[in-house]
Amino acid sequence: MPQIRFDDQVAVVTGAGGGLGRQHALLLASCGALVVVNDLGGTLDGAGRSDHPASIVAMEIADAGGIAVADTNDIATPDGGEAVIAAALDAFGRIDVLVNNAGILRDRTFAKMELDLWQAVIAVHLTGAVHVTLPAWRQMRQQAYGRIVNTSSASGLFGNFGQANYAAAKMGLVGLTNVLAHERATYNIKVNAIAPVAATRMTEKLFPDFAEHIDPALVSPAVAYLASRECAVTAETWSVIAGRVARVFVGVTPGYFDRGLTPEGIAANVEQIRSEIGYAVPSSVLDEIRTLMSQVRRHDGP
């Protein structure tokens, strides 16, 4: 199979000063991409800022023979998001790939969750992704080409204790991914998400016995594929961990159908409602409604 390359393409990676983002940036650059390394340089909870993380990764890329610019704009603000894409356009004249990776953690159980903790996490993960994606989206539509890879999480997909704010943001990114994929129309823009698990400063306390198996470098190949011209999918979320890549999807069971539905009827048919036998994976809201309408017609007759 021909090597996947990004020659003459421009990639923006947010949160690229370390961990997963750094690996994404390094791999894309090694495959020929011109990379904007965005990182505010703050602490794990988003406090402070530093030019060093983004600059160091940009220098790593340059030392390896690639081309990169460092960017330290704060994507949690609309102006910051615009500035990240402006940096790409100023330096390289276009943007072909956007990897929304930046994030912070402010974990609390929900009973102890304060609104500032909630809002700070949403502002970076979800709203921050929007701040960067909006200007990138406009440019990609104008170019009639683009690839966007959003970073979700198993915490959002499946739940995790003490991460209500983080999980809500990460599941929000799945919804954003799906809608943008539908709105891409004829612009040759593909939008997908990954749900990675890797040994980074965010997870170092969670997987101490498994860290050697979850090298961040094992996630980046999936990002590179989804960001490439060769990518054949859109509106999908892939779990990427320890060298395994798997699709995660929302399915709908055949369920229990009764045009005279009652609470008692539901209570008597919970197992049928929950049975996963014969599930479907709708591609859109309309797709699910079409499936439902076929059930209605079968029930009501001609």
Question: pLDDT, tens digit, for every residue of 100-139?
Answer: 999 988 989 999 999 999 999 999 999 999 999 999 999 9
Burial 121-155 (b: 16+ CB within 10 A, else e): bbbbbbbbbbbbbebbbebbbeeebbbbbbbbbbb
Could you report the per-residue pLDDT of 231-249, keeping only the tens digit for each? 999 999 999 998 999 999 9
For residue 109, what pLDDT is reported?
94
For residue 41, what pLDDT is reported?
87
The counts of H helices and E strands in the chain are 11, 8
Is the pLDDT at 94 greater than 90? The verdict is yes
Mean of per-residue pLDDT scores for the chain: 92
Mean of the pLDDT values across residues 240-259? 93
Tokens 């860290």 correspond to 211
Reported pTM? 0.92
For residue 42, what pLDDT is reported?
76
Q: What is the widest separation between alpha-carbon atoms in the chain? A: 71
Rounded to 5 degrees, what angle do the CA atoms 166, 222, 67 make?
95
pLDDT band with cut points at 50, 70 and 90 for residue 194: very high
Is the pLDDT at 67 greater than 90? The verdict is yes
For residue 196, what pLDDT is reported?
93
Q: What is the residue extent of each domain of the chain?
A: 10-248, 263-300
For residue 199, what pLDDT is reported?
56
Burial 167-185 (b: 16+ CB within 10 A, else e): bbbbbbbbebbbebbeebe
Please indicate whether residue 166 is annotated as part of the active site: yes
pLDDT band with cut points at 50, 70 and 90 for residue 210: low
- The residue annotated as part of the active site, out of 145, 166, 187, 279, is 166
Q: Which of 102-106, 174-178, 195-199 has the highest mean pLDDT?
A: 174-178
Beta-strand ranges (E) seen in 9-162 are 10-14, 34-38, 67-71, 97-100, 146-151
pLDDT band with cut points at 50, 70 and 90 for residue 186: confident
- Looking at per-residue confidence, does 48 or 140 come out higher? 140
Q: Give the architecture (CATH level 2) of 10-248.
A: 3-Layer(aba) Sandwich (3.40)
pLDDT band with cut points at 50, 70 and 90 for residue 207: low
Please provide the size of the chain in residues.
302
